[in-house]
Amino acid sequence: MAHEILAATNAVVTLDVALPGIVWPWLVTVNMWAKSIGTGVILMLFMLIRMHPDSVKNLRLPTAVVAFIFINIFLLFTLADLHQPFRMWHIFVYSSFSSAIAWGSLMATVFLGLLVILAFLAYKKNNETFDKVLVWTTILAIPVTLYTAALMAQCTARELWQMPTEAAQMILAATLSGSAAMILLGGSKLSDEAKNTLGVVLGLSALMAFIIYMSEYIFGPMKAEEVAAVLDYIKGDGPYAVMFWLGQWIAYLLPMLLILLSRASKSESILKLAAILALVGLAIVKHVWLMIPQLLPMS
Amino acid sequence: MQLGFLVDLHLCMGCKGCEIACKVENEVPLSTWRLRVKYVDVGTFPETKRTFTPLRCNHCENAPCERICPVSALHYLENGIVNIDKERCIGCAGCVMACPYGAIYIDPQTQTADKCTYCAHRVASSMMPACVVACPVQANIFGDLEDPTSNISKYIQVNQSNIQVRKPEKGTNPHHFYVNGGNVALNPLASHRIEGHSLFNKITTLPVGGHH
Ligand code: SF4
Ligand code: SF4
C-alpha cells in the first residue's frame, strides 16, 4: 500500500535524525556459524554411531573437542557483541524467560557442560557412558541450535525472520555444517558408507536450505511490503545482491554438484572440497540474511 | 491507570521544542534521541506540503522490547509505562532489534539501552513530561487512557474516526496515538529517504552505541 502511493505523493524525508547503523554486526554472524558447527557435529556423531559404529571408533574425542571449541567461539562472540560484557552474569541471576536470549544462554551453558563430560569420557575411553551422555547432548543440541531462530522471530521489527523458516534454516545449517565438519574431521578414517551417508546429509541439507531461500526470495514479497522492501537489498543492484548469490552458490549449489561428482568418481578430495565450500558459504549466507533487515528504516 | 500519549498532527508545526526539551530533561547524549520530529515533504514544487511527526516510544501494551529483554531491564510500571533499568541492562541490543519503531538506542556513554520513558521520573512527582510542557500549541496530549474524563480520553472520543497508531499490523498495541496522521507521516515505507540529503546535514546513519 505505502509503496504504491509513493509515485503519487512524491513524499521525501527532508529532515530527520540519522538512522542507527547495523545493530547486530558480523560478530553475530560468527556466533550463528560457530554454533551450527558445534551442534551439528554432535548430531552427526550421534547418527554415525547408530549407522556406522565401526567408522567412528576414533572420532568420539575429536568430535567432542571440535564441538567444545566451536561452542566456545559462539559464546565468546556472543559476549564480544554485548555492549556491557561484564554484566553477562545478569542473564543467570535476573533471567527473563519470555526472552529467547535467556533460554539460549542457559541451554548453551548446560550444553557446554555436557561437552566437557563427553570429552572426558572419550579421553577415558568409556564409550558406553559416552554414548549414553551423547543421547542427552544430542537432544539438547536441537533447542540450542533453534534458539537463534526464536530470537530472530522475537525481533518483531524484522518481518523477514519468521519462526517456521528460520527454525528450518537453523536445523539445516547444523546438519550442513555438521556433516561438512565430520567429513573433514573423519577424513580417510571414515568408511566409504559413512562418507556416503555424510555426503547425502550435506547434499540434502544444501538442497532444502536452497529451496527455502528461493521460496522466500520469490514468494516473500507477495505477502508483506516490508519483506518486499528488505528483499530488494538482494535483488537487482541491491547492496547485498552479489553476496547473496555468492553465498547460495558456495554454500549450496556447488557442494550439491560436487557431492554428485564425488559419488560418481568415488573421490574423497572432491567430497572434502564440497565440505569446505559448504562451511565457507554458510557464513556468507548467514551474514546476508542477518544484515538485510537491518538496512530498512524503522521509523 | 494506563498512561498514554496523543499527538494532534494538525496542530504540530515542527518547531522541535519537544525534541529539545526531552534532550535537556533526560540528558540524552549527542547522536541519540528519545523523541524526534520527522519532516516529510509531499508533492512536487510548487504544489508541496510539509508534514511534521513527533516520534517517540509507543509504550506498547504488548511490547516486543520487553519480551526479548533477557534480564527484565525493560519492564512495565503500574501506570503502563515501559521503563528501563540501565543498571541491569547488559547491552545485548535485542530490544533495538525488536522494536518496530526504532524507538530504542544504545546510549554511547553508558553502553546500555535507553528510550523515552514518558518522563517516568516527572510523572512520579505529578508533573507532565517535559515535551508536553514545551509544546507551544498543545499538540502533545498526555494522560490516563482508563479515565474517561482525562484530556486524552476526551480527545480520543471526539476524534474517534481519525485516530491512528504506527504499524498496527505488528500487534504491539501502542499506547501512543496520532490524530490527523496519514500514511506518509506514520509509515516509513511511504516516503523516499534519499541518501545523504536532509535539510541540515548529510549524515544518514550513525554507529549503534558509538562503536561496532
Ligand atoms: S515502541 Fe518500541 S521501545 Fe517502545 S514499548 Fe514499543 S517496542 Fe518497546
Ligand atoms: S540491550 Fe539491555 S534493555 Fe535491551 S534487551 Fe538487551 S539487556 Fe534488555
Q: For B187-196, what is each residue's pLDDT tens digit?
A: 999 999 887 6
Asked, for residue B204, whether it belongs to a domain, the answer is no
Nearest-by-CA chain B residue for A26: B212
Q: Tell me, what amino acid is at A53?
A: P
Are B166 and A25 inside 8 Å of each other by CB?
no
Angle, alpha carbons A272-A274-A277 (nearest 5°): 110
Q: What are the start-end ranges of the H helices in A52-162?
A: 60-81, 90-93, 100-123, 127-154
* B146-190 pLDDT, tens digit each: 999 999 999 999 999 999 999 999 999 999 999 999 899 999 999
pTM of the model as a whole: 0.95
Q: Do residues A112 and A71 make contact, with C-beta atoms less than 8 angstroms apart?
A: yes
Nearest-by-CA chain B residue for A101: B70
Residue A141 has pLDDT above 60, yes or no: yes
Query: Strands of B36-44's sheet, edge to edge?
Result: A12-15, B36-44, B47-55
pLDDT at A1: 58
pLDDT at B70: 98
pLDDT greater at residue B167 or residue B205 = B167
Provide, for chain B, the percentages of residues in helix, strand and coil under a 3-state DSSP scheme, each rounded to the nearest 5.
Answer: 25, 25, 50
Mean pLDDT of chain A: 96
Closest ligand 1 atom to Cα of A156: 7
How many residue pairs bridge chain A and chain B with CB atoms within 8 Å of each other?
A: 200
Beta-bridge mates of residue A236: none
Q: Do residues B94 and B102 make contact, with C-beta atoms less than 8 angstroms apart?
A: no
Distance separating alpha carbons of residues A176 and A180, to the nearest angstrom: 6
Asked, for residue B200, whether it belongs to a domain, the answer is no
Are B194 and A102 inside 8 Å of each other by CB?
no
Number of H helices and E strands in chain A, helices first, is 12, 2
Query: Would you call B39 an interface residue with chain A, using a CB distance cutoff of 8 Å?
Result: yes
Q: Do residues B117 and B81 make contact, with C-beta atoms less than 8 angstroms apart?
A: yes
Distance separating alpha carbons of residues B88 and A147, to the nearest angstrom: 23
Cell of A199: 555426503
Q: Which superfamily, per CATH, for A23-295?
A: Formate dehydrogenase/DMSO reductase domain (1.20.1630.10)
Closest ligand 1 atom to Cα of B115: 3
Q: Do residues A91 and B70 make contact, with C-beta atoms less than 8 angstroms apart?
A: yes
Q: Do residues B188 and A298 make contact, with C-beta atoms less than 8 angstroms apart?
A: yes
Ligand 1, atom 8: closest residue by C-alpha: B65
B203 backbone dihedrals φ, ψ, rounded to 5°: -85, 120
Distance separating alpha carbons of residues A69 and A273, to the nearest angstrom: 22
Instruction: Calculate mean pLDDT across residues A23-40.
Output: 97
pLDDT at B143: 97
Residue B198 has pLDDT above 80, yes or no: no
Ligand 2, atom 4: closest residue by C-alpha: B95
Out of A85, A94, A299, whose CB is closest to B88? A94
Tell me, in angstroms, the distance from the centre of ligand 2 to residue B106's CA. Answer: 9
Instruction: Calculate mean pLDDT across residues A220-230.
Output: 95
Distance separating alpha carbons of residues B133 and B141, to the nearest angstrom: 10
Instruction: Calculate mean pLDDT across residues B87-114.
Output: 97
Q: Confidence class of residue A144 from pLDDT cuts 50, 70 and 90? A: very high
Residue B42 has pLDDT above 70, yes or no: yes
Nearest-by-CA chain B residue for A14: B198
B95 Cβ inside 6 Å of ligand 2: yes
Distance separating alpha carbons of residues A248 and A216, to the nearest angstrom: 13
Q: Do residues A150 and A103 make contact, with C-beta atoms less than 8 angstroms apart?
A: yes
- What are the structural domain ranges in chain A? 23-295
Q: Is B71 helix (H, G, I), strand (E, B) or coil?
A: coil
B194: which chain A residues are within 8 Å (Cβ-Cβ)? 12-13
Provide, for chain A, the percentages of residues in helix, strand and coil under a 3-state DSSP scheme, each rounded to the nearest 5.
Answer: 80, 0, 20
Distance separating alpha carbons of residues A290 and A295, to the nearest angstrom: 10
Q: Do residues B43 and B192 make contact, with C-beta atoms less than 8 angstroms apart?
A: no
Residue B197 has pLDDT above 70, yes or no: no
Query: Would you call B52 an interface residue with chain A, using a CB distance cutoff of 8 Å?
Result: no
Give the number of domains in chain B. 1
A102: which chain B residues are within 8 Å (Cβ-Cβ)? 70-71
* A67-88 pLDDT, tens digit each: 999 999 999 999 999 999 999 9
Q: What is the CA radius of gyration of chain B?
A: 17
pLDDT at B202: 76
pLDDT at A198: 97
pLDDT at A185: 96
Asked, for residue B26, whether it belongs to a domain, the answer is yes
Mean pLDDT of chain B: 94
Percent of chain B with pLDDT over 90: 88
Closest ligand 1 atom to Cα of B176: 1
Q: Do residues A38 and A76 make contact, with C-beta atoms less than 8 angstroms apart?
A: no
Out of B39, B189, B209, whose CB is closest to A226? B189
A101: which chain B residues are within 8 Å (Cβ-Cβ)? 68, 70, 92, 94
- Find the CATH number of the domain harbouring B27: 3.30.70.20
pLDDT at B211: 63
Q: Do residues B13 and B159 make contact, with C-beta atoms less than 8 angstroms apart?
A: no
Residue A156 has pLDDT above 90, yes or no: yes
Residue A232 has pLDDT above 60, yes or no: yes
CA distance B149 to chain A (A): 32
Among the residue ranges A142-156, B17-31, B155-169, B194-208, the one predicted with the least confidence is B194-208
pLDDT at B194: 82
The parent domain of residue B81 ranges over 3-192
DSSP symbol at A85? G
Asked, for residue B202, whether it belongs to a domain, the answer is no
Instruction: Calculate mean pLDDT across residues A41-63.
Output: 95
Distance separating alpha carbons of residues A137 and A63, to the nearest angstrom: 12
The binding-site residues of ligand 1, defined as CB within 6 angstroms of any ligand atom, are: B 57-60, 63-65, 82, 99, 101, 103-104, 115, 172
Q: ipTM of this model? A: 0.93
Which ligand is in closest contact with the Cα of B112? Answer: 2
Angle, alpha carbons A77-A90-A88 (nearest 5°): 20
